[in-house]
């Protein structure tokens, strides 16, 4: 592990090498990001001068904080695969809390671009962080009247949850998608980075979530008004409640099974090659 104050001394680099599966994954990331941005542009309609100024400030601050105060962890000889920008996700948290979905997505895009240019070189990284930021904004600004929904509106819960369920898997897909190696080589890189990437995402999310939690209570009063809440969809009927309960549990189980199968297959293939 190594500490670095600034990453701006590194040469700017983006790796455009994509295999066919990587190109498909990148197009999926891009299409989803564009669709979500276009569907939520109305978030800008309520902007006044103060919100526009805050948005511009966060947009500028995002790539800067993404490349200062970095903890780097060596992974298979390439430490760029896992680095923790201590305050890297703070602009994302504030944009999601104060400004809405599309502003948060664009701030996330700027954060990911800063990481990609000076750290990983991974072309999918801006889209990975943008999608994460959109989900965080959805969680923080949903208007359901329910104990679970109220918990999800807390930055200290929403950011780590989105980091584990969105940011971490998308980064692993991005590691598999990018690079000039064969699909097996890229899969090797992604599997080796599973736990370091989880640690960096979770660490940055907890720090940003803590700062966002403070900003929620002592900030400039820009958070979403909760005067008119609506009943949560999972609280209306028992069948819907069961659906909302079973679906995330099933998704987590499937993700764990896929991870175990992929890791087992990789270990078996490695032993066969060695033998």
Residues 96 and 170 placed together within one structural domain of the fold:
yes
Count of structural domains within the chain: 2
Domain shared by 8 and 113, yes or no: yes
Is residue 212, in this structure, part of any structural domain at all?
Answer: yes
Residue 41 lies in a domain: yes
Query: Are residues 29 and 63 both part of a single domain?
Result: yes
pLDDT tens-digit readout, 78-115 = 545 578 889 999 999 999 999 999 999 999 999 999 98
Note the pLDDT tens digit of each residue in 118-172.
Answer: 888 889 999 999 999 999 999 998 877 778 888 889 999 999 999 999 999 999 8
DSSP 18-68: B-HHHHHHHHHHHHHHHHHHHHTGGGGGG--HHHHHHHHHHHHHHHHHTTE
Range of the domain at 157: 2-226
């Amino acid at each position: 592990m190594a500490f670095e104050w600034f990453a701006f001394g590194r040469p700017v680099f983006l790796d455009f090498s994509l295999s066919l599966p990587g190109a498909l994954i990148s197009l999926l990331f891009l299409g989803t990001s564009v669709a979500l941005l276009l569907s939520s542009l109305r978030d800008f309609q309520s902007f006044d001068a103060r919100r526009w100024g805050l948005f511009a400030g966060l947009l500028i601050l995002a790539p800067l904080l993404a490349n200062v105060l970095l903890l780097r962890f060596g992974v298979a000889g390439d430490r760029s695969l896992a680095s923790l920008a201590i305050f890297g996700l703070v602009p994302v948290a504030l944009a999601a809390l104060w400004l809405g979905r599309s502003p948060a997505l664009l701030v996330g895009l700027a954060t990911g671009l800063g990481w990609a240019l000076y750290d990983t070189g991974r072309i999918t990284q801006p889209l990975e962080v943008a999608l994460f930021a959109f989900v965080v904004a959805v969680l923080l600004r949903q208007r359901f009247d329910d104990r679970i929904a109220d918990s999800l509106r807390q930055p200290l819960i929403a950011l780590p949850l989105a980091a584990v369920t969105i940011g971490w898997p998308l980064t692993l897909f991005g590691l598999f998608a990018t690079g000039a190696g064969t699909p097996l080589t890229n899969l090797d890189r992604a599997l080796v980075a599973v736990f370091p990437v989880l640690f960096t995402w979770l660490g940055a999310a907890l720090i940003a979530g803590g700062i966002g939690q403070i900003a929620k209570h002592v900030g400039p009063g820009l958070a979403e008004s909760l005067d008119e809440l609506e009943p949560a969809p999972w609280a209306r009927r028992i069948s819907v409640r069961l659906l909302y309960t079973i679906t995330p549990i099933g998704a987590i189980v499937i993700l764990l099974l896929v991870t175990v199968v992929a890791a087992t297959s990789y270990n078996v293939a490695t032993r066969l090659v060695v033998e």
